[in-house]
Each structure stands twice: as C-alpha cells, then as structure tokens.
C-alpha cells in the first residue's frame, strides 16, 4: 500500500473534523467548486445521470457539488469506515440522504455497471487497479473522470492500453493546479467482465465488507 503525501493526510484530518459541522462543507467546497464545475462540463453530467464517486472522504465535497449543480443521484464508496460514518452523518444533517448514498467498499472490486459517470478521487488508490476494474465492467457509453497527478498518467494510459489494446477509447486531459489532470474516458461498448463484485443499490448497504475503496 502506498504512503499518502502530507497534503492528503492533512486534508483527511481536516475533513474528519469538519464533518461534524454541516456548514463546513460550504467552506471546503470553495476549493472544489471550480474544479467540479469543469469536470461536470467535461463529462456533460445531467440530472438523468447516475454517478459513482470512488473515494469520498469525511466531507464528500465533489459528490455534494455534482448533486447540487446537476440534480444527478450519487453513490459514494470509500475505504475508511470513519470517513463513511462521518460522510453519512453530514449528508443526513443536510437532508440529502435520498439523493446521495454512501457505502464502504473496495474501489477495485465495486461494480460500476448501471452508472453513467464514474468519478475517481485523487486520494483513491491504487488508481491502476481501480481503473482496470471499472474498464472491465462499466456500462456502455459510461464516462470516467479520474483525478491524477500529471506524472501518474503514464500508468493510467498503460492500464487503458492493456484493457483496450486496439485503442478504442477517447481521452481528454485538463490540467488543474500544480500538474494535476482529469482524464475523461468514454467506452463505446461497455465492459465484458463477468466476475462477481460488490454491487451498489441506493439506500442499501447490506453485504458490503469492511475493506477499501480508496
């Protein structure tokens, strides 16, 4: 398991504290608003979409912003049981639990079928394994938004080429901040993997293991 840098670690601690105060997501959201707005435009998210956010943290600003701006229903998976608990509490206090569902699950095992947009957070890991799981199973026409440090994109493209050696995918990079980038992938035919995996059902968290999503 890789070690997180100092910024993600501090962010995680701040978010856990902030999750106790509903107003805090507005303050933290200032950092995410512009970035999420661009991602929504890039992937053309609308209220008919069903969005899966892998890696939500204690204050799921991205999921909240996507829901607020588009009206889309959002499911969040995260590894950290404390983050899942904090996120659920915050969403309930905001009276949004009918629009946003949170579960604990592995990002590299979760079933993305049925979702039209999959958003992978920067702190979700391992990116390559999560992406490979998504690519094998996603629904036809689904879009993937991946936040990744610029230098990590070589591994991302390597994963894409392993799954789709013929190059049947579309990618668009957008730079944000210090070398960070967003990758948009559109699968024209959908995945073909039949192996069992965790399935998300809105409002139902039964049968989910206490393991990682990233």
CATH of the domain at 58: 3.40.50.150
The chain-wide mean pLDDT, for the chain, equals: 78
Pick the range with the lowest mean pLDDT from 155-164, 172-181, 188-197.
188-197
Which of 34, 30, 28, 81 lies closest to 59, judged by CA?
28
Residue 211 has pLDDT above 50, yes or no: no
**Residue 166 is assigned to a structural domain of this protein:** yes
Residue 125 has pLDDT above 60, yes or no: yes
**Residue 212 is assigned to a structural domain of this protein:** no
Q: What is the pLDDT of residues 31-66, one digit of tens each?
A: 778 889 989 998 999 999 999 999 988 889 899 999
Beta strands, E only, 39-192: 50-54, 73-78, 100-104, 110-111, 117-120, 143-149, 170-176, 180-186
The count of structural domains within the chain is 1
Q: What is the pLDDT of residues 84-96, one digit of tens each?
A: 999 998 899 889 9
Residue 200 has pLDDT above 60, yes or no: yes
User: From CA 64, how far away is CA 207, in angstroms rounded?
Assistant: 25
Beta bridge partners, 19, equal none
**Residue 208 is assigned to a structural domain of this protein:** no
Mean pLDDT within 123-150: 86
Find the domain containing 123 and state its range: 6-199
By the 8 A CB rule, do 202 and 76 touch? no
């Amino acid at each position: 398991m890789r070690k997180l840098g100092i910024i993600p670690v501090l962010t995680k601690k701040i978010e856990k504290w902030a999750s106790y105060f509903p107003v805090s997501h507005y303050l933290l959201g200032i950092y995410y608003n512009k970035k999420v707005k661009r991602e929504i435009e890039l992937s053309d998210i609308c209220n008919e979409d069903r969005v899966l956010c892998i890696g939500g943290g204690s204050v799921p600003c991205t999921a909240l912003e996507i829901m607020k701006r588009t009206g889309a229903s959002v499911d969040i998976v995260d590894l950290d049981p404390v983050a899942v608990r904090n996120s659920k509490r915050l969403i309930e206090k905001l009276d949004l639990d009918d629009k946003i569902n949170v579960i604990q699950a592995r990002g590299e095992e979760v079933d993305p079928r049925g979702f039209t947009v999959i958003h992978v957070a920067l702190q979700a890991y391992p990116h390559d394994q999560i992406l490979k799981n998504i690519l094998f199973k996603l629904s036809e026409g689904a879009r993937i938004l991946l936040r990744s440090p610029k230098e990590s994109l070589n591994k991302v493209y390597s994963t894409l080429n392993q799954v789709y050696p013929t190059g049947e995918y579309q990618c668009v990079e957008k730079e944000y901040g210090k070398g960070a980038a967003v990758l948009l992938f559109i699968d024209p035919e959908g995945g073909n993997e039949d192996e069992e995996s965790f399935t998300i059902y809105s409002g139902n968290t039964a049968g989910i293991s206490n393991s990682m999503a990233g």
